[in-house]
Chains A and B, each alone.
Chain A
Amino acid sequence: MDRSPADTRTATPGSLDQRDRLGQLEEARRATTGSRFWRRLRSERKALVGAFFVACLIIVAMVGPVIAPHDPDADDFMLFESPSMDHPFGTDSFGRDLFSRIVVGARTSVTIGFAAAAVAMVIGVALGLVAGYYGGWIDTVISRCIDLLWAFPVIILTVGLVAVFGAGARNVVIAIAIAYIDDFARVVRAKVLSLREEDYTLAARAVGASDRRIMFRHILPNSAAPIIVQATFAVGLGILAESGLSFLGLGVNPTTPTWGLSLNEGRDFVRQAWWISVFPGLAIMFTVLALNLFGDGLRDALDVRSVGDA
């Protein structure tokens, strides 16, 4: 477990030198843990495969419009053209090149997935940290609110929030983020509950460190592993949720090409043009698969058991 033992024994309350020494030892320990982590991550084949695909995806999301062979909105091709050299994924019911739409659509899906995971992480981590650290009535109130969020299946909560606040990228990100706050809060709270009794936390308190300092300098860095793993899974889940909302017609702007929207458009033509339904779904599946592989590898490399399956 994450301990810094010897440093705590000689500490006397309020001594600045000893606080510095505590900090140095903590940093030295973190550096060792860091190099061990990289070694273990490099030996996790699934993490490397996942990381490679995620990196490719991020590049495609960034340069999508540049590398797309055709304008994703140009409807100047034959309708329902089956996959060919010119149109690797065929054309859709409006005569648009599906490959270009999927390449450009990566940006929306990836951006929303990452943004929703980031927002959920910031709020969830803050709630879990405060609940776990302070305990008592603060923990009770936060935990009951988290229970409440958990009672709503993700798609129901996101659909409900989008129904109230309206569709659009910002609202979709907020809705998905709210739905995943509880995952982060639970993971962090559980970790903080164990860390607040660790020797180094008690030592930091003994030398007079403030609650804020203990939380952000000692507890939060040591909770990083489960947070990182949870965040990786959350990006994948966010992408799945976004595609679900777009599929229901409740996603981002209907003129923006997204994978979920392409699937929605292909659903009505499944008999005459299978490719419109198959390729956007494959794009979603491989993206989430890569993130899950990466998350699973990270979980093994960081030896985190508290984070559940995606």
Chain B
Amino acid sequence: MVAEAVKPKAEVPPPEKWVDEYGDYLYRCAFVRLHDPELAADAVQETLLAALESIDRLENPAAMKSWLVGILKHKVIDHFRKRSRERPVSEVDSSDDPFDEFFDAAGEWKPGFPKDWGENPGAELEKSEFWSTFRECLAKLPGRLSQAFALRVLDDRSSEEVYKEMDITPTNLWVILYRARMHLRRCLEMNWFTGTDR
């Protein structure tokens, strides 16, 4: 037992290797949430500096990567908080509304929508090019929608955590997430699945 406690420490690479070892992975994690190279790189830097300060608290060196991702997610939330303070986001704004294009006044789908995505749209997720399009669609989400979607779906936090974090009502959160999903649905339809319309 004692021997085990001494040994694993050696598995953590020295800090000068961290950027090469974890930099790209952390950057991708940050980029899908922040969509901006500079913001994403800042989050990576803050994450690694925080890790340096608290490396003694890492209990299982084999879990270094997921430990870093945990820190990164907190750094991303810090960024969201800062942005919300600068630009409050509590109101639901109808300009984020992706519905008029597809639904008529009675709230029914307009003729021709939603388009056919083919027999097996799930198979598209196996194509590497799909992810380039998907990332671009994520990046196009309006700020508050993007933030809610990142916390709820990408981070897989509970609805309760997310509406408390964003300081909005549960109903507001659900409307925002519905809009985010509809935006993404439309974006994929236009930029990926249009070719499969038949």
Bound together: no
Residues of B within 8 A of A (CB): none
Which A residues lie at the B interface, using CB under 8 A?
Answer: none
